[in-house]
Every structure is written in C-alpha cells, then in structure tokens.
Amino acid sequence: MAVGGGSGVGAEERNYAVPLALMVSLYFGIGFITALNDVLVPHFKDLFHLTNFAALMVDLCFFGAYFVMSLPAGWVVGRIGYKAGIVAALVVMGAGLLLFVPASEVIYYPLFLLALFVVGSGLALLQVAINPYVGALGPEETAASRLNLAGGFNSLATTIAPRVGAIFIFIAAGGTAAELARSVRGPYAVLAVCVFAMAVVTAFVRLPDLIATKAVGEKLVGSAWRFGHLRLGAGAIFFYVGAEVAIGSMMISFLGQPSMGGLGHGAAARYVSLYWGGAMVGRFVGFWALRKVEAQRALGFVSLVAAVLVAVTITTHGAVAMWAAVACGLCNSVMWPCIFPLSLAGLGKYTSQGSGILVMMVVGGAVIPEAQGFLADRFGYQPSFLVVLVCYLYILFFALRGYRGVRVEDGVVPAVVS
C-alpha cells in the first residue's frame, strides 16, 4: 500500500500546526550549523596548514559526538520527555557555539574541535527528540512526508549556509593567522544567541505528549536492537550521512583541482550550495510524493541513481564529474526521511531508544569523510569517491530488502515489566 492515500495536509496534522512549525524551524537551525562545516574544513586547512585527513577532523569531532552521545540522549529523552530534551539540547548547542570565541582568540585547533564536539553533542540530543516527534505529529503512514517537509527547510538552510559562511569566513588571500581565526568569531557568536533564543521559545510553546515514554520505575526487558529492521536501518543512516557529508566536505577542495577547473574557495562554495540546494528541492517534492509512493520504493530509486552519479564522478573529469557530484544532493533528499520511519516502525516504547541508536549512526559523518580524506591524500580525489559509492550501494540494499525486519506486528515484541 502506498504511503498516504490522499493529497494535502490532513486535519490531524493541521491540529499540530504550531508544534510542527517549531520543529521545522529547529530543522532549519540544524542544517545551517551543520553545513557551515563545509566552509570550516578548507578554512582550517589554510589556517593551520593541514592535510585533508587532519582538516576533516572537523567532521570527526562534530559527528563523532553523535556516536558518543546519542544513546545517552535516548535515555535522557525517555526520562525527561521530548520537550525538555529539546530545550536541554539547545542550551548545550549554544554553549558549544560560544566556545568558538575563546578558540578564535588563542588560535588553537584542538579548542575549535572541542567546540564542535559540544555542538555535535547538543545536536545529537536534539535529533533524538525531534525526529520521532515529527513522525508522531499526524498519521503514521505520512510520517515520511512530514519528515520531508522538515528536511526541506533543513536543506534550505544547508543551501544558504555555505554562501553565508563564505562571505563572512573566507577572507582575502594573505590574511594573517589572527585575521583568519577572527573571521569565525562573529558568525558563531550570532548563532549562539539565536540558539539560546530558540531554547526560550521552545520552553514556552505547548508541545503535546504524543509518544509513549518509559514510566518511572518501569523496566524494559531487552532492547531496540532486537528489531532486525532497526539494526539494518542503523547501517543505512551511517552510510547515508557519511556519503552526504563526505561529498559536501570534499567538494571545495575537489573542485580546486586543475582537472576540475581549479576553482577558488569562494567560487567552489557556490557549487556546495547547489549540492545542498538539490536536497532542498527534492525534499519539498518528497513532501507530496511520499503521500502516494511507498518510502522503500522512493529510497531504492534515489540510491540507485546516486550510485550511478558517483560512478560518473569517479570516471570522468571537468564539468561532467562536477555536475554529477552536485546532482547527488538531489538524490540524498529523501533518504533520511525514508530510512528513519522505516527503521522505527513498530518499536512502541522502544522508540526513543531506537531513535537514539539511529542518531548515533550519524557518526558516519565522521568516519566516511575521514576514510575518503585518507584515500584522497594517497590516491587522488576521484578514486576516493569509491567510499561514497559503497555507501549508496548499501542504502540500495536496505531499500530492497533490509527494511523488512522483525516488527511488532510480527508478534516478536520485547517484554515490558514494571
């Protein structure tokens, strides 16, 4: 049966218009902060004279926080609830963003990395809370559609962020180390103020309790890992985020190669915006399309096309390879909104734990770019895209077979005792 039977937004979803609008604004903030990493990577590479592998520590620390903090975040959300979890997440994010101020004063790369780890920790908690919550703001069969709507605004932010970051962070060649470091201070201080303001707004907005959480004193026997489709979905999230981040993080340096036209950082940043812009367009289209098309079918189609595009990037040069890499953004668009609800389907009281597991797998954004950076330093940029090709092939497997794991409706349900 297709995902969603009708067109338009249903009455139940309209009743949740204010909470959904707040969630969408949070997705926008997540996208903006995350996409700025694509500017920080080449910026820190120049500032600290780093290799690709060392510069991509930006992604390792930022997304590595998801791996470290997501399971604790699932426990926190299960204990304090989704609204309190969102507020706490925003406070942690704001604190991490403020750390960019002292880091820019002392010009110390590890302190920048610590700041990124703290920001990533807050984002991990935020993602654990808002992804299942958006899915619960209406009928289950249209959860992927709502996640696409939120993802569309997330991608709008990722489209804007590289251009904004390039304007404020990239400075003229020949700038001193102090000038290069100082250029990140203003943007991140402003972001910190905005995030703290969102925490205050969230605290005063009424968010309905829509997802069952574990009652005080109640013990869950077993874990969400017992669900086969969740385990395979965790792998799909790992490879999806890894591929998406790797392409975005590598693109400015990749397009700077002579065989790709030798573009400067500012010019190449425009193509990073187009890459994320493709995801934005695809997600807004997906908001409507996934009301009529099964999530697994949509996921299978886009992962196959993405694999073909990466193969073209590897085997060609110049404009063809460049546009093939940029077009991967359009394919990425519906991957997260399809993988997430397919993986959480039927988890019940294990939803927050399952969400924590899935968000933990965002660590792919730390591992895959580092793997590609390692290969790029040794074999060149184009061969390094083989890592991304493997990612998309796994996602294709999940769309064809992996999502059909053990579900609650199959009768295999971990026991719950009080």
Q: For 17-63, write each residue's pLDDT tens digit.
A: 788 888 889 999 988 998 888 888 888 888 888 888 888 888 889 98
| Euclidean distance between CA atoms 53 and 307, whole angstroms | 24
Q: Which residue has the tokens 């895959």?
A: 368
pLDDT for res 182: 84
Q: For 305-317, write each residue's pLDDT tens digit.
A: 999 999 999 999 8
Sequence-separated (6 or more) residues with CB below 8 Å from residue 258: none
% of the chain exceeding 70 in pLDDT:
87
CB atoms within 10 A of CB 253: 20
414 pLDDT above the threshold of 60: no
275 pLDDT above the threshold of 70: yes
Mean pLDDT within 222-227: 71
Residue 122's closest CA among 103, 94, 143? 94
| Euclidean distance between CA atoms 67 and 397, whole angstroms | 23
Q: Residue 88 — very low, low, confident or very high, per pLDDT cuts 50/70/90?
A: very high
pLDDT for res 411: 42
Q: Residue 222 — very low, low, confident or very high, per pLDDT cuts 50/70/90?
A: low
Sign of the CA dihedral with 221 first, then 222, 223, and 227 last: negative
pLDDT for res 7: 36
pLDDT for res 406: 47
Sequence-separated (6 or more) residues with CB below 8 Å from residue 413: 348
Give the residues across from 417 on adjacent strands: 219
Residue ranges per structural domain of the chain: 11-410
Average pLDDT for the chain:
82
Asked if 154 and 28 count as a contact pair (C-beta separation under 8 A), the reply is: yes
Mean pLDDT within 175-195: 86
CB atoms within 10 A of CB 378: 11
Token pair in block for residue 27: 């997705």
pLDDT for res 219: 54
Helices (H), 109-142: 109-136
Sequence-separated (6 or more) residues with CB below 8 Å from residue 97: 33, 115, 119, 188, 189, 191, 192, 195
The secondary structure element, H or E, covering residue 417 is strand 416-417
Asked if 156 and 31 count as a contact pair (C-beta separation under 8 A), the reply is: yes
pLDDT for res 408: 43
The secondary structure element, H or E, covering residue 220 is strand 219-220
11-410 classified as CATH 1.20.1250.20:
yes
Token pair in block for residue 413: 């349900």
% of the chain exceeding 90 in pLDDT:
30
112 pLDDT above the threshold of 90: yes
Token pair in block for residue 81: 């609830």
Token pair in block for residue 210: 């829509």
The secondary structure element, H or E, covering residue 171 is none
Asked if 384 and 376 count as a contact pair (C-beta separation under 8 A), the reply is: yes
β 416-417/219-220 pair status = antiparallel
Mean pLDDT within 366-371: 89
242 pLDDT above the threshold of 90: yes
Q: Which residue has the tokens 């997330």?
A: 154
